[in-house]
Amino acid sequence: MQQRRLGRTDLSVTRICLGTMTWGQQNTEAEGHAQMDLAFERGINFFDTAEMYSIPPKAETYGSTEKIVGSWMKARCTRDKIILASKVVGRTDNDWMRGHPSRLVRADIFDAIDKSLARLGTDYIDIYQIHWPERRIPWGSNPTRVGEWPAPRDADETPIEETLGVFDDLIKAGKIRHYGLSNESAWGTMRYVASSDMGRGPRPVSIQNAYNLVNRTFEVNLAEVCDREDIGLLAYSPLAQGYLTGKYDHGARPAGARTTLFDRGQRYEKPHAAEALLAYNDLARSFGMEPALFAQAFVLSRQFVTASIIGATSIPQLETALSAADVVWTEEMEKAVNDIHQRTGNPCP
């Protein structure tokens, strides 16, 4: 499995990263272990989780995924063989994580990291990410339109510089090696970089944002920011939450699928999204490929993507995702994809 250097670090991560957010609800511990076994056997050295997982988030399953990852590392003695990434939540009114609404302040971040380390059964996390910003901005941070502007600001919004100082302390304490951003904008990313350049803490090494055929907003501003500042894109949702597999085409809702179970697909059910999704899925079929394989291969074909974060609820799904690394992306595929994008834009930012 091909590897790439992550940002300006000495870490080399595989082009595919195994996502874990279904483990603890849609998947059992044994199923999670089986997925990690297969990925590790195929050469994957990069695993991503979060304190909030499994998804959808709720008090009963808070931290369940980290426990599953931790039990696998203990059973297989693999901690020193993988690059482990996790996340701390941004601002949330949910009080079951801390006993009070959480923010990106020192006490809450230290509470989060200590609990994550305990669940994972490790002394350190390689890449600790801010799951989403504390400031109130549209989810994903890169909308194609902003309905309310100026965006509302909370009087108690934690300055980025203050949060950065906490991550500096986490690194000095040996609890994390590096930190990254997620669901962040170009402005937010540059604010972290500028604060670091002024000596207020470490530079972010990665950004984990959605990137797929129906959401290429990363290309607009963030691609240049990350290229110039050596920040690696960890692209999540390459299958657009399953909508680029074809299983939801024409309004289908198969039993056991995530949107069928949880009704959380609103990001991919916006006006005109269905037409764009169907166009890409039909395009994949015209090339004789499963839509899921085609969509994964598209993300891996981008030179600015350090790693594509894949997710699966079954071994066959995982096999398909892993096989995307072997697809040769052609000029014909590129032209056909860009033709649809020119007509449909980014319907699911």
The catalytic residue among 53, 128, 179, 280 is 53
Can you tell me which residue has the tokens 């909370």?
A: 154
Between the CA of residue 81 and those of 1, 40, 41, 85, 114, what are the distances in Å? 14, 9, 12, 13, 22
Which amino acid belongs to residue 272?
H
Beta pairing, strands 46-48 & 83-88: parallel
Tally of helices (H runs) and strands (E runs) in the chain: 11, 10
Residue 255 dihedral angles phi and psi, to the nearest 5°: -60, 135
**How far does Cα 332 stand from its chain's mean position?**
29
Instruction: Respond yes or no on whether the N-terminal peptide bond of residue 150 is cis (omega within 30° of 0).
Output: yes
Can you tell me which residue has the tokens 């894109």?
A: 233
First to last CA, the chain: 30
Angle between helices 106-120 and 160-172 (to 10 degrees): 40
Q: Which helix (H) or strand (E) element contains residue 86?
A: strand 83-88
Eight-state DSSP code of residue 248:
T
How far, in Å, CA of 280 to CA of 278, rounded?
Answer: 5
Q: Note if 179 is an active site residue.
A: no
Alpha helices in 291-330 (DSSP H): 291-300, 315-323
Q: Annotated catalytic sites, by residue?
A: 53
